[in-house]
Structure 1
Amino acid sequence: MSYQNPVFIPGPTNIPEVIRKACDMPTIDHRSPAFARIFKPAVAGVKTVLGTREGEVILFPSTGTGGWEAAITNTLSPGDTVLVGRFGMFSHRWIDLCQRHGLNVQIIETPWGEGAPLAAIEAALAADASHRIRAVLSTHNETATGVRSDIAGIRRAMERTRHPAMLFVDGVSSIGSMPFEMDRWGVDIAVAGSQKGFMLPAGLAILGLSPRALAAMETATLPRTFFDFRDMQKSYAGGGYPYTPAAGLINGLATAVEMLQDEGLENVYARHHRIAEGVRRAVAAWGMRPCAASPELYSDTVTAVVVPEGFNGTDIVTLAAQKYGMAFGVGLGEVAGKVFRIGHLGSLTDAMMLSGLATAEMCMADLGYPITLGSGVAAAQDYYRKTAGIAAKAAA
């Protein structure tokens, strides 16, 4: 693998040089005012990216998986019921985590390539007259299949059924890259990670907590120590941590949110949509299709490309790494071998994306795929040429 080439996996993403330098800092006393000066702007910036004024932000030295664990252990008790649709590898892993913690997981099996099953969620909530379901869990952007789910639609279903359950959302591969409105969508816990839209190395679990989620701590009895929100809140009041924080990553996070705000979140989202649309046009030019079942489900951070019958998508990823020094994502779980994944999130430009598409084409040609070299690149070029500068002009 060449360190000079950008990566096209759906995380960790490419790290801008200014963020890398921000993470590379001398040791500081994390109980001193020096730490508070980097910590407070990082937290304030994350609140803006999450779309919350009412919520509180917690940063754990961990990854998104640790964020999932923190979400359930701080708000639920053994035997509590949670409702979740299984429609990809990451919703599956959240289900597994809940089951290992002794929760009663009510699973709605959903075809991979579809999004959160809104009608089935609403029916399950309506049938729960005794309100045993304590939380509804959903993955906003299913990285395995390149599917974006309608989180606002889940909240509307909860409101129509007048169900009091909390809403927990895995936004690891969407937050910072696609619109996310924690307050407006009624999200009680949003989980993100440092290594995706925030363009940092892995190492921070980033959580947004609503007042309802914080209140649920008072009755939750699942064990937690490292991930205890209460310990974090007590230390946050003084601008510190209950244990040693990842100071360099938090300094990088402060820089990352400043970069996102300087670009303008609407421009960030428009850039991701535009680059993703160029990828989708390339895929169509190859005679292939995304794994996502319909256009309204298309993710703007990752496209899972369904390969033709008789081919194995993993071979493309392997060849790209070995021959051309470039990274793409393999298919996971039920779509292993059936797709290869192109990540297009974080620090990315048109020119970078075109290099990825060109390399993917070379790999497919090397493997005997029925494609014409340059067809996908040309389709993306045509779209990028016609749409270049539109977001920047609109913001001017």
Structure 2
Amino acid sequence: MSLHTGRHFLQIPGPTNVPDRVLRAMDMPTMDHRGPEFGALGLEVLTGIQRIFRTRQPVIIYPSSGTGAWEAAIVNTLQPGDKVLMAETGQFAVLWRGIAEKFKLDIDWIPGDWRRGADLDLIETRLAADRTHQIKAVCVVHNETSTGCVTHPLEVRKIMDRTKHPALLMVDSISGLGSLEYEHDAWGVDVTVAGSQKGLMLPPGLGFNAVSDKALAAAKANPGMRSYWDWMDVIAINKVGTWPYTPATNLLFGLKEAIAMLEEEGLENVWTRHRRHSAATRAAAKAWGLETQCADPHAHSPALTGVVMPDGHDADHFRKVVLENFDMSLGTGLNRIKGKVFRIGHIGHFNDLMLMGTLAGVEMGLDLAKVPHRTGGVMAAMEVLKGRDVVPMPKAAVA
């Protein structure tokens, strides 16, 4: 094993770097999760997370992974045999489909090539043809973490409105929330699924469902069995700041601090920062002469960039070279693109110098692994960052 000094560079697109402030906030003794002190914390984070989702509607927080939040969205609103429209955009869309299959939903699957967002034309065609409204939900992944491609939920909502289709709009924004522009209420999303370990800058362990009035009505009318995931049970006891079962108490302390950090920077500034880092990373890949996995210029993710290896070169071997020589973890390719793609995460608690260090490690690693490329990627990224627009300081940071 190589001896490394300094901090490990964790540049996978999640779990992401946890800020020291959040780590310190979680460093709390065990407390009574039925007591008044915890109740005050619960109410504070429940109100704060609404601001991050940009919603006035309930946000249900589970002690779970994002997978649990996917399941919660399904079991509260749908029953076996219900038809759902889902679009293949990458591995996480495939995994969500797998959960839907286990609950015996009737899946209308729109295939994709893993190089762009959901096919909006086909979504519109399927919804327009569904004159008897058999489709009960449209499920899309906002930020496909396996590919670095974005599907814009507002565009899906516009299609649903044009076709006058009453289905629920369900959006997986597990790696989008806190890193990409997101407006749960304004975009007419019925259920947003999210997780703690991406743009929210926390360890894994919290799953979220933001829900509309329409989704709540569907849940109330749904006779399907659920217990742990039942929205109504959680919402009822959330009114006093606690949960129907033991919550992830210390993660909630961390969530309070993460919300504070996002709001100190300003959500709009957070979104801008992610877009800048994405643009700089793509400039580096272009200078190296390497393709990005996302082939649609309008769908590039601000949170991560997938880079395609030249034919005959294995992405996992390259990642191993980078890890052993520079103590930096890059994201692996998943499923059909395993060994073909590596992913650079520029998401969460991240800044310009961290990005430059990351790209320097990639460029040196390409050389050591004898991957055909041109030099100059780091310089190309630097030019993007130096030419950035001045971002106004958030009010809280102004002296």
TM class, shorter-length:
over 0.9
Amino acid paired to 2:229: F
2:24 paired with 1:16: no
1:34: which partner in 2? 37
2:75 paired with 1:73: yes
1:44: which partner in 2? 47
Amino acid paired to 1:273: R
Q: How far, CA to CA, are the matches of 1:394 and 1:204 in structure 2?
A: 28
- Using the TM superposition, give the Cα deviation of residue 317 of structure 1 relative to its aligned residue in structure 2, in angstroms: 1.5
- Using the TM superposition, give the Cα deviation of residue 394 of structure 1 relative to its aligned residue in structure 2, in angstroms: 9.1
1:187: which partner in 2? 189
Q: How far, CA to CA, are the matches of 1:100 and 1:317 in structure 2?
A: 34
| Residue identity (%) | 41
Q: Is the 8 A contact 1:281 1:376 kept in 2?
A: yes
- Using the TM superposition, give the Cα deviation of residue 69 of structure 1 relative to its aligned residue in structure 2, in angstroms: 0.2
Q: Is the 8 A contact 1:39 1:254 kept in 2?
A: no
How many residue pairs get matched? Answer: 393
2:123: which partner in 1? 121
Question: Structure 1 residues 27, 394: CA separation in 2 closer, same or farther (over 3 Å shift)?
Answer: closer
2:230 paired with 1:228: yes
Q: Is the 8 A contact 2:9 2:327 kept in 1?
A: no
1:103: which partner in 2? 105
| Secondary structure of the structure 2 residue equivalent to 1:273 | helix
Amino acid paired to 1:86: E
Amino acid paired to 1:348: F
Amino acid paired to 1:21: R
Amino acid paired to 2:314: N
2:9 pairs, out of 6, 11, 18, with 6
Q: How far, CA to CA, are the matches of 2:317 and 2:127 in structure 1?
A: 43
* Gap regions ≥5 residues in structure 1: none
Q: Is the 8 A contact 1:78 1:221 kept in 2?
A: no
| Secondary structure of the structure 2 residue equivalent to 1:310 | coil
Render the CA deviation track for 1:4-49: whole Å, top value 9, x for unaligned: 1231100000111010111111111000111122112211121111
Render the CA deviation track for 1:39-86: whole Å, top value 9, x for unaligned: 122111211111112x21110000111000000001111111100011
Q: How far, CA to CA, are the matches of 2:210 and 2:118 in structure 1?
A: 21
Pairwise mapping of residues 1-396 of structure 1 onto structure 2 (< 5 A)?
A: 4-53=7-56, 55-373=57-375, 375-387=376-388, 390-392=390-392
Render the CA deviation track for 1:345-373: whole Å, top value 9, x for unaligned: 00001101111111111211111122245
Q: How far, CA to CA, are the matches of 1:367 and 1:239 in structure 2?
A: 53
Q: Is the 8 A contact 2:41 2:241 kept in 1?
A: no
Q: Is the 8 A contact 1:19 1:252 kept in 2?
A: yes
Q: How far, CA to CA, are the matches of 1:289 and 1:266 in structure 2?
A: 29
- Using the TM superposition, give the Cα deviation of residue 302 of structure 1 relative to its aligned residue in structure 2, in angstroms: 0.7
Q: Is the 8 A contact 2:43 2:240 kept in 1?
A: no
Render the CA deviation track for 1:305-342: whole Å, top value 9, x for unaligned: 01111111121212222232110001111211111100
Q: Is the 8 A contact 2:265 2:394 kept in 1?
A: no
Render the CA deviation track for 1:193-229: whole Å, top value 9, x for unaligned: 1110010000000221111111111222332211111
Q: How far, CA to CA, are the matches of 2:88 and 2:276 in structure 1?
A: 29
Q: How far, CA to CA, are the matches of 1:286 and 1:392 in structure 2?
A: 32
Q: How far, CA to CA, are the matches of 2:393 and 2:25 in structure 1?
A: 30
TM-score when normalising by structure 1: 0.96
Q: How far, CA to CA, are the matches of 2:223 and 2:175 in structure 1?
A: 29
Q: How far, CA to CA, are the matches of 1:59 and 1:109 in structure 2?
A: 31
| Secondary structure of the structure 1 residue equivalent to 2:192 | strand
Amino acid paired to 1:385: K
Amino acid paired to 2:372: P
Q: How far, CA to CA, are the matches of 1:157 and 1:334 in structure 2?
A: 30
Render the CA deviation track for 1:153-178: whole Å, top value 9, x for unaligned: 11111111111000000000110011
